Amino acid sequence: MAHAPGRYADFEGLRERAVALRRGGYSLRQIRDELKIFNNDILNQLVKGEPPPEWTKRPRAKDDLRKKARELRLRGWTYDQIEAELGCSRSSVSLWVRDLPKPERRDPTEQAKLAARKRWEHELAMRDEERRRTKAAAAGEIGAMTARELFMTGVALYWAEGTKDKPYARRESVQFVNSDPGVIRIYLAWLDLLGVERERLRYRVMIHMTADVEGAQRYWADLVGVDVSAFQRTTIKKHNPKTVRKNVGESYRGCLVISVLQCADLYRRIEGWWTGMVNAASGITEPLSSGKV
Q: Would you list the DSSP string of the chain?
A: ----TTTTS-HHHHHHHHHHHHHTT--HHHHHHHHT---HHHHHHHTTTPPPPGGG-PPPTTHHHHHHHHHHHHTT--HHHHHHHHT--HHHHHHHHTTSPPPPPPPHHHHHHHHHHHHHHHHHHHHHHHHHHHHHHHHHHH-SPPHHHHHHHHHHHHHHHB---BTTB----EEEEES-HHHHHHHHHHHHHTT--GGGEEEEEEEETTS-HHHHHHHHHHHHT--GGGSPPPEEEPP-TTS--SS-STT---EEEEEESS-HHHHHHHHHHHHHHHHHHTT--SPPTTS--
Prediction pTM value: 0.56
Query: From first to last of its 293 residues, what are the pLDDT tens digits of the chain?
Result: 334 445 556 888 888 998 998 888 888 888 888 888 888 888 888 888 888 887 666 556 577 888 888 999 898 888 888 887 887 888 888 888 888 888 877 667 776 787 788 888 888 989 999 999 999 999 888 889 999 999 999 999 999 999 998 877 778 899 999 999 999 999 999 999 999 999 999 999 999 888 889 999 999 999 999 999 999 999 998 877 666 666 667 788 999 999 999 999 999 999 999 999 999 988 776 666 544 54
